[in-house]
Amino acid sequence: MTTAAVAPQRGSRLLAGTGAGFLLVPPVLLLLAALVVPVVAVLAKAVGSYGFDGLVTEPLRNAAFRDAVVVTFVLAVVTTVAALVVGTVYALAMSVAGPVLAKVLFGILLLTFWISLLVRTYGWLLALQPNGALDYGVREAGVASGGLGLFQTLPGLVVPMVHILLPYMVLPIYAAVQGLDQSQLRAARSLGASSTLVLRSVVLPGIRAGAMAGTVIVFILSLGFYVTPAFLGDPGDRVVAIVVGEVFGRQRDLPLASAMGVLLLAVVLAVYFVADRVLRISEQWERF
Amino acid sequence: MDLRQALRDAIGGYRAALVALGVLLAVFLLVPLVVILPQAFSSGLFFKFPPPGFSTTWFDQVVNDDLWRDAFTRSLWTATVGATLATACGTLGAIGLRRLGLGGRALRTAFLAPLVMPQLVLAIGIFVARDDLGLGSSLWTLVLGQTALAFPVVLVIASAGLSAVDPALSRASASLGHAWPGTVRRIELPLIRRSVLSAFVLAFALCFDEAVLAYFLSPPGQATLPTQLWLASTEQASPAIAAVATYVMGFVLVLLLLAGWLGRQAASNLRSAR
């Protein structure tokens, strides 16, 4: 799939109006019922209970929520930066490896992308838990006799998060690498540029748009992540989603859960729309 | 000379290191999958690494367990309904957006919003809306939410399929007297049939695997497979869970291969149509 998928085509104007209104009715109805109504419902619930100011003040009065905001921000930033570095390496490796190896690397990436999030998290649980697979591995290798102790710590959460979010980073970067200008690469080479110079002033600037798209989506997704922190997060350092999930699921405090949810959603949407405006992110995503 | 070769020559000094790192990362990507397998084939009663011995008992046991069987059937049902709705809406949305051209930019952004919607917030929203409207808990509300999550994936795949279809075909159809429903049904849909099918398969996999909405919205006693997996894994440390996870991985792998095959068919269909 290419960018052509979204670039409005020449001549499509001649089709304008021919049924567009009718064709768009079912998708608009779906999003109204499944997205707009629920968002309005939480908004109404929160405003009805706390007023408009309460949307911000009420969640922030909750100490657990305040702590979680800091943890979530740190986790999202660390995860995003790690995914950016690792994702760039993986995308470049796929692009320069031999054709067969490149296919294998791509296949493994897609496989992990489509294997259930829950199953992958569960796999990390088995790997990281005390006396789990990794502890066994390091003991056998004689690295650390007591095990790694990563289970339910911040690093032990970042690693699985990067694992789960990596495809969202790699796919747009890989698409950008495929869009690099061959003649520019060859010109740089024949004019005597070193590998480092080519990498720094041709390749990396060329894939920046893809990397930005990946960075934004990974950051957004890690802000609202629920499943992986539920299994692998530090119980003493909970993220926002876990705190909200507890208020909603265990305490059944719907007004407070709604207010917290609205705040989380507002932050996520703000990042999304600013990024879309500034970086035209939605067009980048559609490249894959 | 292709891009791969040009890139290889241009960053020659880094190539070996990049490829070596890529292979290491691929191994890292496989860690959670590889860890599950030995536990699924364990002969022990609990998780233990390494497992005490080899057996396929757990696979037989979960297949014959009504709890798991019902959850699997339920997930098949929710995913079929969800993927069907998402495919219908996503395909119509892609065809409709194409007719809007540049004017549809804001709508396109809105259509992609479910991709960034935190699933937990959506779960709370659906729960509160259901409460406000006085509806009881039912699998249908869960399916509706999962449909919304799968919708943008279908939209993107169908748009990509459409982009390879010459707009002149649609114009020709219109000028030869087809009203727009005829053009959609006779010209556009047949040409993107394979893309739509592969979008359906991916939407199915997405709905089948969806866990957060399912965890919070499944009616009591009507857990989908991911919900059951989640509940079981917080209650017990039985290799049965690893066996179920292995089944899920196998099932999704089959779906992925199917979608990939359909996608290739879509590409070659369009090539031969030119």
pLDDT means per 10 residues, chain B with 274 residues, are 83 89 95 89 79 85 91 96 97 90 82 91 96 89 96 92 83 81 84 90 92 94 93 86 92 86 71 54
Residue B45 domain flag: no
Tell me, yes or no, whether B109 and B218 share the same domain.
yes
Q: How far is B203 from chain A (nearest CA, A)?
A: 11
Average pLDDT, chain A: 87
In a shared domain, residues B25 and B92 = no
**Chain A positions in Cβ-Cβ contact with residue B158 (cut-off 8 Å):** none
Mean per-residue pLDDT for A227-233?
Answer: 94
Beta bridge partners of B42: B54
For A35-285, give the CATH class.
mainly alpha
DSSP result, B93-153:
HHHHHHHHGGGGHHHHHHHHGGGTS-HHHHHHHHHHHHHHTTPPP-HHHHHHHHHHHHHHH
Is pLDDT above 70 for A67?
A: yes
Domain count, chain B: 2
Residues B151 and B29 in one domain: no
My answer on whether B153 and B105 are in the same domain is: yes
Any A CB within 8 A of B81 CB: no
Q: B249 and B203, same structural domain? A: yes
In this structure, the answer to whether residues B211 and B141 fall within a common structural domain is yes
- Which residue in the block uniquely carries the two structure tokens 């999704």? B252
Residue in this structure with the two tokens 């809306």, named with its chain if needed? B129
Contacts of B103 in chain A (CB under 8 A): 16
HEC secondary structure over B223-241: CCHHHHHHHHHHHCCCHHH
Domain shared by B137 and B193, yes or no: yes
CB contact under 8 A, A108 and B127: no
- Per the CB < 8 Å rule, is B29 touching A112? yes
Domain regions of chain A by residue span: 35-285
Given A31, A185, A265, which is nearest B121 (Cβ)?
Answer: A265
Residue A12 has pLDDT above 50, yes or no: no
Let me know whether B139 and B208 are in one domain.
Answer: yes
Q: What is the mean pLDDT of residues A240-264?
A: 95
Q: Looking at the structure, tell me whether residues B137 and B6 fall in a common domain.
A: no
Binned at pLDDT 50, 70 and 90, residue A282 comes out as low
Domain-embedded: residue B46: no
B48 is a domain residue:
no
The Cβ of residue A57 has, within 10 Å, a number of other Cβ atoms equal to: 12
Tokens at B103, concatenated: 């004017």
Of A41, A99, A116, which has the smallest distance from its Cβ to B209's Cβ?
A116
Q: Say which residue, A85 or A181, is predicted with more confidence.
A: A85
In chain A the first and final C-alpha atoms are separated, in Å, by: 6
Q: Chain A within 8 Å of B252 (Cβ-Cβ)?
A: yes
Residue in B closest to A31 by C-alpha: B148
CATH number of residue B171's parent domain: 1.10.3720.10
Segment A188-215 mean pLDDT: 88
Residues in chain A with CB shorter than 8 Å from the CB of B189 are: none
Q: Which domain holds residue B177?
A: 55-273
Same domain, B131 and B17: no
- The pTM for the full model equals 0.89
| pLDDT tens track for A120-156 | 999 999 999 888 888 888 777 777 666 778 888 888 9
- Shared domain for B203 and B71, answered yes or no, is yes
pLDDT in tens, B59-74: 988 889 999 999 999 9
Do B18 and B110 fall into the same domain? no
Q: How many residues does chain A have?
A: 288
Chain A residues in contact with B168 by the CB 8 A cut-off are: 11
Residue A17 has pLDDT above 90, yes or no: no
